[in-house]
Structure 1
Amino acid sequence: MELQLSTPALLFSAITLLMLAFTNRFLAIATLIRGLHKNYLKDPDQEIIVEQIHNLRRRLTLIKNMQLFGVFSFLLCVICMYLLFQGYTSAANWVFVISMLSLLISLGISLVEIQISTKALNLELSDMEDIFEKRKSSLDLFFKKDDK
């Protein structure tokens, strides 16, 4: 199969949308970090805040790497198109393969970041679940139906 000039161009919209999603995740984490920082200054002994800060630091690093590999993939697509335009099809094929691998790495890192994000949400829910379970048990006694 011969690589056409339009093939790497098809990735432009996909990579651009991914970069937009990665940037939105970055901005959301930046907002969370600022909020946690304020909470940490108020009460630095809260263990959950410290855990969330460590979690957000890892996620921030992952998002930076996701963006790095996404931009690298985009750059390689442009180089691939230039090589195809110049008639260097063999080199263009290799550059396109590397571009696809870079995009695959970016998506893989995204999956890891999603897993860590889920763990962070579970940390938040664990606090609320403890409070809910205490309330639930006391409310269950009050609203308990008689099985007669």
Structure 2
Amino acid sequence: MELTLTTPALLFPAISLLFLSYTNKFLTIAGLIRSLYSEYKESPDKVILDQLNNLRRRVVLIKYMQALGVGSFIFCVLDMFLLFNGKQFAAEVVFGISLLLLLASLIICITEIQISSDALKLQLHDMEDSAVKRSH
């Protein structure tokens, strides 16, 4: 396969959409953290503290997801520059690195989604337990 300028350019929209997704995740979590922090200051509760710790882990993962995505974007631009200058082998190596960074970002995203899902399951389970206790 020959690498052309259009090949790395195809990743630009994908990476841009990932950034939108990651930014939305970050903004949503930031809002939750602020809300839970206010609630915790008014009445400290271990459940809220556990939720804040979970959100802290997710923010760290999102930071890594974004950093790897930026790295992928930078390597795509560098790749295009190398292709423009006729450095085919270097461009192929750089493009491979770009893809690996993107892959790592997506793998971390899966981890973050799993943590989010697990937190929701715990909260739903807690809610169901409370409902059962009230009905008895």
TM-score (norm 2): 0.96
Shift of 1:120: 1.6
Q: Deviations over 1:20-65 (max 9, x none)?
A: 1000000000000001001100111x12111101101100000000
| Deviation of 1:121 (Å) | 1.1
**Rg larger in 1 or in 2?**
1
Moved over 6 A (4+): none
- Please tell me whether residue 23 in structure 1 is matched to residue 23 in structure 2: yes
Q: Tell me the equivalent position of 2:128.
A: 129
SS of the equivalent of 1:4 reads: coil
Is 1:72 the counterpart of 2:94? The answer is no
Q: Take 2:31 and 2:121, find their aligned partners in 1: how far apart are those partners?
A: 19
SS at match of 1:2: coil
Counterpart CA distance in 1 for 2:104 and 2:132 is 41
- Do residues 10 (structure 1) and 10 (structure 2) align? yes
Query: In 2, distance between residues paired with 1:90 and 1:40?
Result: 56
Specify every segment of 5 or more residues in structure 1 that has no aligned partner in the other structure, as ranges.
139-148
Q: Which runs of 5+ in 2 are unaligned?
A: none
> Could you tell which deviates more after superposition, 95-104 or 34-43?
34-43
- CA–CA distance in 1 between the matches of 2:128 and 2:42? 23
The amino acid of 2:21's aligned partner reads: A
* Map of 2:50 onto structure 1: 51
Q: TM-score, normalised by structure 1?
A: 0.89
